[in-house]
Amino acid sequence: MSAEKDLQAPVSKEPVPDESAPTVSQGTELSGLRLAAVITDQFKALEDVGWYGSSYLLVTCMFQLIFGKLYGYFPIKWVFLTAIIIFEIGSAVCGAAPTSDAFIPVELVLTASSFYINLPIGGVVVVVLLQFLHVPNTISIEAASKSLLQHMDPLGAITFLPAIVCLLLALQWGGTTFPWANGRIIALFVLAGMLLISFLAIQRKRQDNAMVPPRVITMRPVACSSLFMILFAGAYFTIVYYLPIWFQAIKDASAVDSGIMCLPVMLSMVIFSFVAGGGVTATGNPVPFFYIATVLAATGAGLMTTFEVHTGHPKWIGYQVLLGSGVGMGIQLPIIAVQAVLPAADIPVGTAIVTFCQTFGGAIFVSVAQALFANQLRAGLLRTVPGVSPGVVQEVGATNLDSVIDAQHMSAVKVVYNDALVSAWYLAVALFAVAVLGAVGMSTRRKHLEA
């Protein structure tokens, strides 16, 4: 039966879930700060920053949908434990990775940011879950295996992942490793486009058995929430992967200190996730919080584009708090909105799609930001300090510039470095601003099928 339902009106049929507490997805967001702060310094490979974030987020978004289906067909406890064990193995291998080139492929097996410290913690978690987690098993594994094979979308997976990898490679290499007009870059863009078209065709053919079921993604609440999430999360990750580098390169902070200096954005995110969750739970209306979150985040990001070499504590702390308050308020709203307006049967799929869009947006726009940063840095060094090799600056990492740059050129190099980072943050400002379109779409009335 069709019925009208407006997000601006309090939701009564299906209560808005309490999202006042930070969620697992926020752990993914905050881990980006630690990832960027430490790994570039460890491997001395500034040009690979985009890959650190993109590989992490790309595989996360792929397996979000895959594990969503596995949880529906196999016992929850054993699927969860299997994922933790894979995480532990990946943490061990990431911790042992000797170079950036070795680390990135490991991320394509498992995304891990804390590495060795995960091992004892994960071991304790496995023991506790084995002992105390008891989930009723109503699924026949044999029957589930047959049903799962029918409902999985292997063709979608093997077209989508290579398409995005080709796109990220083109963005990573374009203008730095190879000119944009180079045949390799053009071929990568063409191949990415062809694979994406194939992926969309497969999704349309498989319908409800697709990775991204067209019936669900075309529902207005899901489509608008997905658009908002791709843009909003893409903007956030664009800043979060380069903020620690600003502290390291411009303020001469160590990798550890740069992480500490990012605490204002992390703490404000946590606090305002409680504020937004409590507000939506109390009012039953998430739409006003979309607008508030967008304004706060866009304003904070815009102010961060005014960063200069001599920007002091009051500004970089205050601007981070403003940014974090907007991100903390907005990053969970699309999931809340989808759960509030979809029929009960479609909530799991809708939630998985929006979460997929969160990491997908990050994977794409972190790579775009890397292209902006790397090209601006190279061009600025060649123009301003021609005596300094751009390759040397990129290879040394963000915390050891003074080891290869003499005092005569250091001030000019820092100005160029600052301008290159700010150029990437302009992308974030634009994404935060455009994300409001998703909120506008959810402000209008729409039809949906009631359970």
Q: Which two tokens stand for residue 217?
A: 């993604």
Residue 447 forms beta bridges with which residues?
Answer: 4
Contact 235, 365 (CB under 8 A): yes
Instruction: Calculate ∠ Cα 53-198-232, nearest 5°.
Output: 35
- Helix (H/G/I), strand (E/B), else coil: 440: helix
CA distance 223 to 232: 14
Which pLDDT value is given to residue 15? 38
CA distance 210 to 353: 11
**The pTM of the whole model exceeds 0.85:** no
Contact 11, 340 (CB under 8 A): yes
CA distance 340 to 444: 15
CATH homologous superfamily for the domain 2-44+216-449: MFS general substrate transporter like domains (1.20.1250.20)
Q: Which two tokens stand for residue 141?
A: 């594994």
Contact 43, 103 (CB under 8 A): yes
Q: Which of 216, 356, 243 is nearest to 305 (CA)?
A: 243
The model's pLDDT over 75-94, given as tens digits with 9 standing for 90+, comes to 777 777 887 787 777 766 66
pLDDT band at 375 (very low <50, low <70, confident <90, very high): confident
Domain ranges of the chain: 2-44+216-449, 154-210
The model's pLDDT over 110-162, given as tens digits with 9 standing for 90+, comes to 443 445 566 677 677 777 777 777 766 655 555 455 556 666 777 887 888 88
Higher pLDDT: 341 or 372? It is 372
pLDDT band at 371 (very low <50, low <70, confident <90, very high): confident
What kind and span of H or E run contains 448? strand 446-449
Which pLDDT value is given to residue 107? 45
**Percent above pLDDT 70 for the chain:** 71
Contact 326, 273 (CB under 8 A): no
Q: Which of 195, 210, 261, 228 is nearest to 33 (CA)?
A: 261
Backbone angles phi, psi at 103, to 5 degrees: -70, -45
Query: For helices 220-240 and 287-304, what crossing angle results, to 10°?
Result: 20
The model's pLDDT over 170-226, given as tens digits with 9 standing for 90+, comes to 877 777 678 888 888 899 999 989 998 998 898 888 887 777 778 878 888 888 898
CA distance 289 to 355: 19
Contact 117, 87 (CB under 8 A): no
Torsion of CA 7, 11, 16, 20, to 10 degrees: 70
Amino acid at 215: R
